[in-house]
Amino acid sequence: MVQIMRVYDVVFVVRGSISETEQKKAVKTVKDLLKDVKISKEDEWGEKTLAYPIKKEKTGVYYFLAIEGETIPSDLEKKILANEHVLRHLVIRTK
């Protein structure tokens, strides 16, 4: 049986008001959720001003992950949002 590797893009925004150490912890927490898939690309897009306040935050630091795997955890999005430092996220299947 051939196993199909799917490719996903994950973008999430971390609070801009927290320290860089806490930002790195938040990113590590998200990456730990993806331990069963391969992270093929990782990028920090930097701090940007949000179009409107989210959870009383006016700025956020954007992160991008390209992941590959047969499946992603079904509760991935819920677990990402459970992280208090993540303001928004988006998971898109690209292939």
Cβ count within 10 A of residue 30: 20
Residue 44 bridge partners (DSSP):
63
pTM of the predicted model as reported, rounded to 2 decimal places: 0.89
List the domain boundaries for the chain: 6-93
- pLDDT greater than 90 at residue 73: no
The closest of 8, 73, 3 to 39, measured between CA atoms, is: 8
6-93 belongs to CATH 3.30.70.60: yes
- pLDDT greater than 90 at residue 69: no
Mean pLDDT across the stretch 83-94? 93
* 1-42 residue pLDDT tens: 667 788 999 999 999 999 999 999 999 999 998 888 899 999
pLDDT attached to residue 59: 97
User: Rounded distance, CA 82 to CA 36, Å?
Assistant: 19
Phi, psi of 76 (to 5 degrees): -55, -50
Residue 37 bridge partners (DSSP):
none
User: For residue 29, what are its two tokens?
Assistant: 């927490």
pLDDT attached to residue 88: 96
